[in-house]
Chain A
């Protein structure tokens, strides 16, 4: 009898500790148990976070755990990691600034379909298109297409001049001669963007081309410009017209797109994830990390 009571107590304890964990299960997909039975075998049925209704039961078919990460960073190069933090979370010496603390990893989770406004000059289009081709061939997880219908696009580039009082896109910073605005969801996945360039305040053609390219690359992940990178990199804060897509640029963007996080990741969390990853010392694909 005593044993039975002990068992009961133990099982209630384990149940209560389970219920405390529920908060960490995010992105749950609920399905009616009747539908679920037909499609998937019974033994894979999860009971956690099941909702019992009067005439139905909703089971979690898929979900993510908030403290578990599936990482595929491969070998980690210290210099690359340092530069990566500079471009995503801001340069090291400025990071104590309050406004820098809100920076989080953001990336496109769908192909970028670019549409040019009809007033964008041909030379700008051509220059950007050649950069896009370079990106498409060198960076696996970013795909950029140029489309000719605005309603099918999710990235819009237009030009403006000083006389334009009415801005086409209301969310954009109008004080800057060139700027972009990106929209992202609660998982920090970018799904739409616009870029505007003022050809009156940036009148030099070479400057127009370089600034457009630089900002477009920046908009692949809301990248900051690094103070410590060499001048020929697009992601360097130093300005020159002699810039091209360097190996460093490619490595940084590739590193950025190696993992698509399903939650918001700030510097603090990123450092925890990375140190756990390095500690595990596996450096292959799909390394599971639990924080």
Chain B
């Protein structure tokens, strides 16, 4: 008898469990309401004194007074998660973008917002054009927000490539000077967006085919973000000051370029801002392991 009741109870328990399981499957659609709070002193700096509504929704945490932000007070832009990177990677990145430790100028990070539309002048050697196009395509396929393709008319392009050789000596861009074999002249706007580039290939200066091809590739690569060359990477890297060509674009080059064109960093900033932001982000992550987001202003 005792046994039977025991079984009954266990059956009831089992049922209950099954019910609970099926219930929980039903309730997957949890609605979450995001609330944004700001410290009182910071709120006053941005929006002035508190309104009546604000003071009704005050919250106290630790020793801070927090004000609830209404929808109209939130920034009107896209939120993107902060991309965490280690200090060694950031060290390389600041070297190639800001020319850290070497430049005294206040260099700002520059990038292409529009698609890069290449136009090749008829003076450009066919082999070189083919190789450069393949190179550009392989970069374009690896970086999401960087699109490079060839256009058939110069008027529709924003990246003009020409060659100086024994048959063609017209220098389309006289501002390109001092270069050995290949150089570029690039334009950017006030928001540090690159929008037009002229690239010169000079076969008179560098007549060795292989050397010239490598030189042009590196010059083209540098024009993708007004990059600087560094000594920290070896000669297989396009960011090195001794690039000797390689079959494939090295993984570190791709990673640096990917980061440059990712949404997880602020665009167009200078070194000081960049380092400050990373310092704050690192401190916050260490303190609370929060999910950090940037407001991306388009």
Contacts and interface: CB of A to CB of B under 8 A. Distances in A.
Interface of A: 19, 22, 25-32, 49-53, 56, 58, 62-63, 66, 113, 115, 150-154, 156, 166, 168-171, 183, 185-187, 189, 191-192, 263
Contact of B208 (A50, A151, A170, A263): A151
B251 A30 contact: yes
A154 B234 contact: no
Contacts, number: 90
Interface string B82-117: 000011110100000000000000000000000000
B241 interface: yes
Contact of A25 (B202, B204, B232, B241): B232
Interface string B59-92: 0000000000000000000000000001111010
Nearest to A171: B205
Contacts of B169: 166
Contacts of B181: 183, 192
- The listed residue with most A CB atoms (<10 A of its CB), out of B91, B207, B209, B242, is B207
B88 A30 contact: no
B157 interface: no
A62 B234 contact: yes
Interface string B165-194: 000010000000000110000000000000
B231 to A, nearest CB: 5
Contacts of A115: 207
B252 A151 contact: no
B229 interface: yes
B147 interface: no
B207 A153 contact: yes
Contacts of B209: 151-152
A189 B207 CA distance: 17
Given A22-B88, A30-B252, A56-B251, A186 B240 contact: yes
Interface residues of B, number: 32
A186 B207 contact: no
A170 B88 contact: no
Interface of B: 86-89, 91, 169, 180-181, 202, 204-209, 211, 229, 231-237, 240-243, 250-252, 255
Contacts of A171: 180, 205
Given A26-B231, A27-B234, 17 more contacts: A25-B232, A26-B232, A27-B232, A27-B233, A29-B236, A30-B233, A52-B86, A63-B234, A113-B208, A168-B204, A169-B204, A170-B205, A186-B229, A187-B235, A187-B241, A187-B242, A192-B211
Given A185-B241, A186-B242, A192-B206, A30 B250 contact: yes
A27 B251 contact: no
B234 A29 contact: yes
B231 A192 contact: no
A186 B241 contact: yes
11 contacts: A26-B231, A30-B250, A32-B251, A50-B88, A56-B251, A58-B255, A62-B234, A113-B208, A168-B204, A185-B241, A191-B211
